[in-house]
Structure 1
Amino acid sequence: MTKHWTPLAFVYLALSLAGLAGTWSYNVIAIIQLRDLVGDWVNSGPAVSSLTVDLLIAAVAGSILIIVEARRLGMKRGWLYVVLSGLTAFAFTFPLFLAMRERTLAAARTPAARPPLT
């Protein structure tokens, strides 16, 4: 189970879980209160709009990184992290991708099993 889980991968995984819990706790509150999520993002003042644009641009850049890096490393279904970010939160899927990327890099650093000498 812990094969190729580096300390850095665990850090990314912890950030991913914090991102999921943090964002969805507020999403649940907004849903219970029947709030207009998009309206709250863009109409709650310049500071909130600035933060929205900031995070949106970072999410787009991160999504491009996910697709390109997953292809470069041969990771399967890299696009799924981008799709899941729309259903959960980018604060969850981006660190999750980074954790899986770290595992892939750790596996690549591990010497391949050599066939026994006969």
Structure 2
Amino acid sequence: MAALTTQNIVAAGTKPTFSAAALTDTAEVGNGHNTFIVYKNTDSNAKTITITVLGLTAYGEQQPDPALTLGATTGELWIPLRREYDQADGLGRASITVSGTGGVTGVTVAVVRMS
């Protein structure tokens, strides 16, 4: 598991630095409105990005974990890191998992925040 560093978007423009994704990463959720995790995939296999959500719904059922498809070869996802994704560990971080054929081969990630 890797704790990803948040990069701030500045008025002059920003090109985030991408790093290799781990099977499970954690990322700061920020204020829940201004922080995104960005995945890119160059592998020939699509991947699934799953965000762990804690807690129960108003009906007492487990909150659903969003699972998003990261397309093959040129796939890119910008996922807002909502407050509901906070793992309640006092660190204000979300837990995100990459799965699919080939694991994290060809998958890079960056966390960006509008300041």
State TM-score, norm by structure 1. Answer: 0.23
Give 1 or 2: higher helix fraction: 1
Give 1 or 2: higher strand fraction: 2
Structure whose alpha-carbon radius of gyration is higher: 1
State TM-score, norm by structure 2. Answer: 0.23
